[in-house]
Chain A
């Protein structure tokens, strides 16, 4: 019984193939980042200075960390509108509890409260089968209001050295950065490992790509989804800690655009809003694109509102590409 000739795939080409490089999912985002860097380097002599490059990284810490959680949720074909608000709640929690129990207790309490928000999202999505968009819109609204009540609409300066630890400056001369940047890189490295090197990571892709097929393959889809939301809670707590390192004041009105910025970073980074495809490497590039764009436009004197228009256009272009690629592959 020989297999039919049509079953045979064309032989794989080990030689260098330009079209293959162009079809790498990270080619677009990486190209856009390099292009943006070149344009701003030409437009502003200050752009490539070590100080400015370090500043871009530091400005990207909070959104960059949150975007890791967002990537996981979007990979499962969901979306998280509450992660930014959860991180803000985390900063208030840290600032208000540090006085009574010390920094370590405050960090643990914050971790638990952020994970609790993740657990609520996860339960509503898995047990009650509600759409993640609506669920997280609800928790976003509730968490934001709870944060205002909890903070009494006041801001809280933080002096504790543990809570501001991630703002510690390291390096020499003008080439300085903060510990927060290393935490950012660490969060990406750990998540990259989990997503690409472990079975749990595969299952995230599988659940996002085709929930039915994943279930038929014996994957506990609800458990996979739930753990993604819990993970997002952990990420929000880490981002809250990093935020106090960047600006040592807990402000219930801070990071208003952070949540949308995470979605922007994820989508620009090539992760599909339809789930099942994408990577945290892409999200890191997406985060840097947003960071470079905002920083560069500021350097050349473009107003903040125009920057928002620019990032908005970028998201729509990225989503259009995703749609187009998806339609072509199906």
Chain B
């Protein structure tokens, strides 16, 4: 790989008293790829993701974005760098409409006196913009004024993904985006992930679902005992081999241990 990684972390450490959540972890996300992050419960993958999304400040180690060192103190810091996160627990407000949810916390105000002095929202602009993003990701919702609670679970997650894709300029992190969904709806979200990759945005997908991971990911980051145990290309290993790497039943190759090819 000659191009600079989009997001890279080296030797991250985070300790809580005597517990080590991140134990010298490395991480590398490349341009235009879907990178799956897998690991057993307690392997520390969510701590790693929190460090990358600004929800946790590591004790030591470095994070680089596009080759530049960055420090995220809050999730807002990470957002300013173009990193958006989709959370597993459907982080939308059910009673608000789709456009309000997409623009929640980033509302657009009208131009001129109405917006600057009277602080009036530009609802039609937000609605149109939301519809555009929904269409971009091929989510078949006809109207952005319907409340999110009228949507199915998959469509709701679609709204959360649209929000991330609309504002995430560099990286989309998806934390177990299908954990709360049924089979069919999970399929839709996986389609969305492909759609985002096709638009050139790299995606970090945290998932327990091996078929999904093998379905959509280009590379798999295997997290174990607080650090990166291996990185494998999806085509190079079988599902059971990857699970064996994850549980420690199998040793990775030197190349995989060093971050893969």
Interface residues of A (CB under 8 A from B): 1-4, 6-12, 193, 197-200, 202-203, 205-206, 209-210, 212-214, 216-219, 276-277, 329
Contact = CB atoms under 8 A, between A and B. Distances in A.
Contact of A197 (B120, B151, B163, B195): B120
Nearest to B155: A7
B96 A206 contact: yes
A209 B93 contact: yes
Contact of A12 (B89, B143, B185, B195): B143
A199 B93 contact: no
A276 B158 CA distance: 21
For the complex of A and B, 9 pairs with smallest distance between CB atoms: A8-B140, A218-B105, A199-B107, A3-B138, A217-B104, A217-B105, A213-B91, A209-B93, A277-B95
Interface residues of B, number: 45
7 contacts: A7-B154, A8-B141, A206-B96, A210-B91, A214-B93, A217-B91, A217-B93
A327 to B, nearest CB: 13
A303 to B, nearest CB: 40
Given A3-B140, A4-B184, A7-B154, A206 B119 contact: no
A324 to B, nearest CB: 15
A206 B93 contact: yes
A200 B105 CA distance: 9
Contacts of B94: 209-210, 276, 329
Interface hub of A197, A212, A276, A329 (most chain B Cβ within 10 A)? A197
Interface string B78-101: 010000010101111111100010
A12 B138 contact: no
Interface hub of B105, B188, B195, B198 (most chain A Cβ within 10 A)? B105
B142 A9 contact: yes
A328 B197 CA distance: 38
Nearest to A219: B105
B93 to A, nearest CB: 4
Contacts of A199: 107, 109, 119, 121
B129 interface: no
Contacts of B87: 216
A202 B140 contact: no
Given A6-B184, A199-B107, A199-B119, A1 B89 contact: no
B194 interface: yes
Contacts of A1: 138, 191, 194-195, 198
Contacts of A3: 138-140, 188, 191
B75 A218 contact: yes
A205 B139 CA distance: 25
B259 interface: no
A308 to B, nearest CB: 32
B120 A198 contact: yes
Interface string B22-54: 000000000000000000000000000000000
A14 to B, nearest CB: 10
Contacts of A10: 142
Contacts of A217: 91, 93, 104-105, 163
Given A198-B120, A202-B107, 14 more contacts: A2-B138, A7-B140, A8-B141, A9-B141, A9-B151, A11-B142, A12-B142, A197-B120, A203-B105, A206-B93, A209-B95, A214-B104, A217-B104, A218-B76
